[in-house]
Amino acid sequence: MKLTVLQENLKNAVTITSHFISPKAQLPILGNILIKTDKSKLILSSTNLETSVSTSIGAKVEKEGEITVPGRIFSDVISNLSSGTIEIEVEKEQIKITSGTFKSNILGVNSSDFPIIPNSIGKNSLTLPKNKFLEGLNKTLFAVSTDETRPVLTGILFVFKGKNLHLVSTDGFRLSQKTIKLEKEFEDQKIIVPKTILLEISKLGSSDDISFSFSKKDNQIVFVSGETVFSSRVIEGEYPDFEKILPKSSVLNVLIDKEDFEKAVKLASVFSRDAGNILKLSIDKNTLKVIAESSTSGNQETNLEVKVEKKSEFDGGVEISFNYRFIEEVLRVISSDDILIEFGGPNTPGKFIDNKDTDFLHLIMPIKT
C-alpha cells in the first residue's frame, strides 16, 4: 500500500473517524482506524460497535492495500503536521508517514479482525433537506436525556408520518418537537436514533444533502452525507406517548421580547443557582416579573413589559416556577425576536413557541413549589 494525500483532507477525515473509536474497548482493534485504498480514494473507517463511520478522501494511489492504525496516535500525528502532501507507505504491519522534513513509523494491526462497516446507503433511502434537518437537530438535541436508566429517552424519536418528519426529544422534564417537511412520502414509522450519532451529524458543515435509510432487520440506520457514511443501531423500546401531553388549550398567553427575557433570566440565574435553579415567573395584566430568591445570597426581581392575552373564562394572574437552565436553553434555539409562552396553569407544562417557526414546539414542566 502506497499513496499520497493532502494533509487538510486527511486531517478532516481522521478527526471525524477518531470520534468513533473506543480506546478503552477490550478488543484493541476497536481503538484503531481502518485505512483502505479504493482506486483513487482513501477510505477511513472506525466503529465502537454501536455506531460507525466511514469516509473517503481523494488520494493518489500507487499501490492498493488496507491496514488498521491506532486511532489516537494517528490522529494526533496527522493533525499536527503542517499542510501539504503526506506520503503513506505500508510495509508488513508498519505505516511509514512522510511529510516534508517529518518521518514516522507507526505500528499497525492487520485489518482482518476489523468489523464490517456499512459503506453505502441501504435500500429505501430518503433524502433529508440538509439545512432544515440540521436546524431540527439543533432545536431538539439539547433536550435529549443523559440518564442511561431510561435508554429510550437518550435518543431522538423520528416520527415519519406522510410527508412530515417530526423530531422529538425529551428528558422527562421538557420536550422539544420540530417538524420537517419532506419532499416525498416515506413509510410511516417511528425510530429512536441515539444522540451520539446525531451529535456527529450536527457538526457536519458541508453543503451536501443527507440521505437516510433504516433496516428493521438489522436494527440499523444509515446516514450518508457526501463522502461520509454514518451508521448506528437504533434504540429498542417504547417511546413515551408524547402526543398525549401536548397541551391543547391554555389560559394565558404571554408575548415577550426575547432579548429582554434572556437578560432577565441571566440575571435571575445569579441567585437561583443557590436555590435549586428555581426561577419564578409572575404574570399580571401587562407585566411579567422574573423573580429569583436565595436564602443564602439574596434576591432579585426584573419587571418586563409584555403582551398578555387572557382566555375569557380565566381571571387573575399566574405564578409559575421553572428550572432557569431549561428556559436558558430553549431561548438559545429560538430565532425570532419575540417569544410566545402559553400557560395552562401552575402545574401544567408551559408551551414555548417561536413566533417565526411554527414547526417548533417546546414544553417545560414547572417545578411544584
Using CB under 8 A as the binding rule, whether residue 245 contacts another protein is answered as: yes
Alpha-carbon distance of 222 to 215, in angstroms, equals 8
**Cβ closest to another protein, residue 6 vs residue 25:** 25
Q: Which is nearer to another protein, 210 or 234 (CB)?
A: 234
Check binding of 358 to another protein (CB under 8 A): no
Residue 8 CB burial class (10 angstroms; 0-12, 13-18, ≥19) = exposed
Interaction residues for another protein, span 151-170 (CB under 8 A):
151-152, 170
Q: Point out which span in 7-15, 95-103, 160-168, 231-239 binds another protein (CB under 8 A).
A: 231-239
Judged by CB under 8 A, the residue of 2, 9, 106, 173 near another protein is: 173
The 105-124 site mask, x for binding another protein (CB under 8 A), equals ----------xxx-------
Q: Is residue 71 classed as helix, strand or coil in its secondary structure?
A: helix
d(CA 42, CA 54): 10
Cα dihedral across residues 264, 268, 269, 270: positive or negative:
positive
Backbone phi and psi for residue 201, each to the nearest 5 degrees, phi listed first: -65, -35
Report residue 267 as a C-alpha cell.
440575571
Query: Dihedrals φ, ψ of 13, to 5°?
Result: -65, -40
Query: Which residue of 349, 351, 360, 362 would you call a contact of another protein, by CB under 8 A?
Result: 349
Residue 54: exposure state from Cβ atoms within 10 A (0-12, 13-18, ≥19): buried
Q: Work out which of 23, 40, 49, 80 binds another protein, going by CB under 8 A.
A: 49
Q: Which of 4, 9, 41, 50 binds another protein (CB under 8 A)?
A: 50
Q: In the complex, what is the shortest distance from the CB of residue 43 to another protein, in angstroms, rounded to a whole number?
A: 17
Answer yes or no whether residue 47 interacts with another protein by CB under 8 A: yes
User: 274 and 309 in contact (C-beta within 8 Å)?
Assistant: no
Residues that bind another protein (CB under 8 A): 25-28, 30, 47, 49-50, 52, 115-117, 149-152, 170-175, 217-220, 231, 233, 236-237, 240-242, 244-245, 248-249, 313, 347-349, 363, 365
